[in-house]
A and B are shown apart, each in its own frame.
Chain A
């Protein structure tokens, strides 16, 4: 009652017409930007911030020009600041202003990867990736990652290790082109079946080859259109491999055949050009709710480039997200790829990269002998590194929350799909019609995706199964 009376009294006391009426017409001031001042940056160089702005000195702009707000978000999007504020101050004469960008810097070292797992073949492996995204305050991203595995239980196996160092910069010299460089050192032992049935993952049924990759890549990326970006990379690696002489795969019926390791014994060179075009209209890069992503990549390795391996690898990916009832989201995801020619095994499609229930590779290293489960009995359990790959899956996403202080968003998801992995040889040498000769398996995953202050986390069944022997 009292509050009601207070409200009535307050309303009676107000007399809005006391404000002076202004002349009709557009009241929005417009000013010439005389200078731009950046305040609060102790580490980040001024030019890094200026480059992200969408306004420039000398421009006459209305104070409600959307480029101001866009500039604020672009500076914020650099990831170097916890807050960015814009304000205008009087310039040297009427009509001129100083645009002040006030920033609050934040730590820019983040965790990019966590590798941890265990399998029948490798008791434990682990690693870490760390990035400093504003190296020396110059807006350069430097990222280092490593993974180490225990001595595998596989014959001829040795400790596996991989190290990667990567640096990238959005622009150099004002060019609207991003540049990146990567250095890789990998000392691996991959596993090839030499006996037992196809669904066995007993390390005793496998033999290991030791190989080493040392090299790097240089890349550039640029916008083709509003949502379309193109990347061109060159990658060169010195590869050395030690293949056991006369290694034979003994089939369960007692017959034998030479094992194709898919790599040149001794030293070799991998030299390739890679081109990727992608169109991304997703509403969010981490937890999208609508939009689509299409990406096509072609890798061309040839003796013309000095490579020991002549092949062409084409892969394409499509994802679409659309909202359905109750704010839930449905996504359809397609992937397909084919390799023409003789690619080294590590450049082919790997079962663990397709099937969520098989451990995927960590920094290029495989630590497991687990095959695909072969639920449909199509012999996909014999496929590991192959030339033809497909995956089609559907995902149902239930958004959990948005806007937390530590975890900025979380979605529950269920993903069910079909995968296929095969080789041209397997398709050619078949005793059944083609439709019955395509190895297919079921893949499924369910869990929670979290976008947090310290990185993305995916807590899922597939993640768990991929990291434990079973």
Chain B
């Protein structure tokens, strides 16, 4: 009975995660093993999800433009699905064409780091992981209660302004067809573009195994 309630709570929390994130039919909530450590008064989380960077995204890292990853990290109680803590990270990598190295900027709550890196593999690791990331103060975790972490990551999210601008252009890309005459041509364009317009170039979501704090 308790196990059933627990599964229901996880299901509810997964639904909550889905509900808070832009929905896409081709995405499922995956599962990743995380490492949870106590350091001082904080619980640190370490988890990697390198597979988010498929070959297409890796290929684009060197195109000279910025690659941005926005990570949202949620901590839930396993039994009730209650959201206990939330944090976010913003990571950006730009390949400097002339110095032939990556310039990274990592924004986390309370601090910003800037790094230079020559290895593409290292850059991918940095952009697709949290390393001893302080997620929640230990005094907010009850001993013996099970928790899990859920992560929602977006690669190159588009700003609302840009999305709006794109949509505005899409409404009348050829400029000749007013809407009162029908939307056939508008449709033609939307047909080939709509599936490429997303709020982010790629999204990735997963949750970790449950864990609990010992006495």
Query: Is A325 at the interface (CB under 8 A from chain B)?
Result: no
A11 and B36 CA atoms in complex are apart in Å by 10
Chain A contacts for B105, CB-based, 8 A? 27
Residue among B34, B117, B185 making CB contact with A20, cutoff 8 Å: B117
A455 touches B63 (CB 8 A): no
Query: Is A395 at the interface (CB under 8 A from chain B)?
Result: no
In this complex, what residue of A is CB-closest to B190? Answer: A286
A257 and B92 CA atoms in complex are apart in Å by 80
B172 touches A112 (CB 8 A): no
Given contacts A276-B180, A451-B187, 16 further A-B contacts (CB under 8 A): A11-B35, A21-B116, A22-B114, A27-B104, A27-B114, A29-B103, A31-B64, A64-B65, A69-B158, A79-B192, A87-B64, A90-B97, A141-B174, A231-B178, A286-B194, A401-B25
A99 and B105 CA atoms in complex are apart in Å by 24
Chain A contacts for B185, CB-based, 8 A? 112, 131, 133, 141
Stretch at the interface among B74-82, B136-144, B145-153, B159-167: B159-167
Stretch at the interface among A2-10, A154-162, A200-208, A343-351: A2-10
A29, A68, A180 — most chain B CB neighbours (10 Å): A29
Q: How far is the CB of B90 from chain A (nearest CB, A)?
A: 12
A174 and B188 CA atoms in complex are apart in Å by 24
In this complex, what residue of A is CB-closest to B97? Answer: A90
B66 touches A22 (CB 8 A): no
A278 touches B162 (CB 8 A): no
Query: Is B51 at the interface (CB under 8 A from chain A)?
Result: no
Residue among A86, A113, A297 making CB contact with B65, cutoff 8 Å: A86
A23 touches B114 (CB 8 A): yes
Query: Is A60 at the interface (CB under 8 A from chain B)?
Result: no
Task: Please encode chain B, from 125 to 138, with 1 for each CB lying within 8 Å of some chain A CB and 0 for all others.
Answer: 11001010000000
A221 touches B176 (CB 8 A): yes
Asked whether A21 and B114 contact (CB < 8 A) given A79-B192, A295-B180, A297-B180, the answer is yes
* Total A-B contacts with CB atoms under 8 angstroms apart: 231
Asked whether A21 and B176 contact (CB < 8 A) given A70-B165, A86-B65, A88-B63, the answer is no
Asked whether A63 and B169 contact (CB < 8 A) given A168-B177, A408-B195, the answer is no
B174 touches A408 (CB 8 A): no
Asked whether A19 and B187 contact (CB < 8 A) given A88-B63, A170-B174, A170-B175, the answer is no
A64 and B103 CA atoms in complex are apart in Å by 13
A88 and B63 CA atoms in complex are apart in Å by 6
Chain A contacts for B172, CB-based, 8 A? 229, 280, 285
Residue among B34, B161, B180 making CB contact with A278, cutoff 8 Å: B180
A19 touches B175 (CB 8 A): no
Chain A contacts for B92, CB-based, 8 A? 64
In this complex, what residue of B is CB-closest to A178? Answer: B175
Q: How far is the CB of B195 from chain A (nearest CB, A)?
A: 5
A78 and B169 CA atoms in complex are apart in Å by 10
Q: How far is the CB of A139 from chain B (nearest CB, A)?
A: 8
In this complex, what residue of B is CB-closest to A5? Answer: B33
A19 and B126 CA atoms in complex are apart in Å by 10
Shortest Cβ-Cβ A-B pairs, 3 listed: A88-B64, A178-B175, A168-B176
A286 touches B183 (CB 8 A): yes
B184 touches A229 (CB 8 A): no
Q: List 22 A-B contacts (CB under 8 A).
A: A7-B33, A11-B48, A22-B103, A31-B97, A63-B65, A64-B92, A73-B169, A76-B193, A81-B192, A86-B65, A87-B65, A88-B65, A112-B185, A141-B176, A168-B176, A168-B177, A229-B178, A278-B178, A278-B179, A280-B179, A286-B183, A409-B194
In this complex, what residue of A is CB-closest to B162? Answer: A66
Query: Is A253 at the interface (CB under 8 A from chain B)?
Result: no
Asked whether A16 and B35 contact (CB < 8 A) given A7-B47, A280-B171, the answer is no
A285 touches B186 (CB 8 A): yes
B162 touches A69 (CB 8 A): yes
Query: Is A37 at the interface (CB under 8 A from chain B)?
Result: no
Q: How far is the CB of B42 from chain A (nearest CB, A)?
A: 16
B209 touches A4 (CB 8 A): yes
Chain B contacts for A409, CB-based, 8 A? 194
B179 touches A293 (CB 8 A): yes
B188 touches A403 (CB 8 A): no
A28 and B97 CA atoms in complex are apart in Å by 12
Query: Is B170 at the interface (CB under 8 A from chain A)?
Result: yes
Task: Please encode chain A, from 110 to 129, with 1 for each CB lying within 8 Å of some chain B CB and 0 for all others.
Answer: 10110000000000000001
Query: Is B113 at the interface (CB under 8 A from chain A)?
Result: yes
**Which of under 10, 10 to 19, 20 to 34, or 35 or more describes the interface residues of B?**
35 or more
B115 touches A78 (CB 8 A): no
A3 and B179 CA atoms in complex are apart in Å by 56
A286 touches B187 (CB 8 A): yes
In this complex, what residue of B is CB-closest to A226? Answer: B168
A11 and B184 CA atoms in complex are apart in Å by 54
Chain A contacts for B171, CB-based, 8 A? 280, 282, 285
Query: Is A89 at the interface (CB under 8 A from chain B)?
Result: yes
In this complex, what residue of B is CB-closest to A15? Answer: B131
Chain A contacts for B34, CB-based, 8 A? 7
Chain B contacts for A428, CB-based, 8 A? none
A86 and B59 CA atoms in complex are apart in Å by 12
B122 touches A19 (CB 8 A): yes
Query: Is B94 at the interface (CB under 8 A from chain A)?
Result: yes
Task: Please encode chain A, from 267 to 302, with 1 for each CB lying within 8 Å of some chain B CB and 0 for all others.
Answer: 000000000101010111110000001010100000
Query: Is B29 at the interface (CB under 8 A from chain A)?
Result: no
Chain A contacts for B125, CB-based, 8 A? 14
Query: Is A388 at the interface (CB under 8 A from chain B)?
Result: no
Q: How far is the CB of B37 from chain A (nearest CB, A)?
A: 9
Within 8 A of B (CB), among A45-95: 63-64, 66, 68-70, 73-74, 76-79, 81-83, 85-90, 94-95
Query: Is B197 at the interface (CB under 8 A from chain A)?
Result: yes
Residue among B97, B188, B190 making CB contact with A284, cutoff 8 Å: B190
Residue among A106, A112, A229 making CB contact with B192, cutoff 8 Å: A106
Task: Please encode chain A, from 428 to 470, with 1 for each CB lying within 8 Å of some chain B CB and 0 for all others.
Answer: 0000000000000000000000011101100000000000000
A11 and B175 CA atoms in complex are apart in Å by 54
Query: Is B2 at the interface (CB under 8 A from chain A)?
Result: no
Query: Is B26 at the interface (CB under 8 A from chain A)?
Result: yes
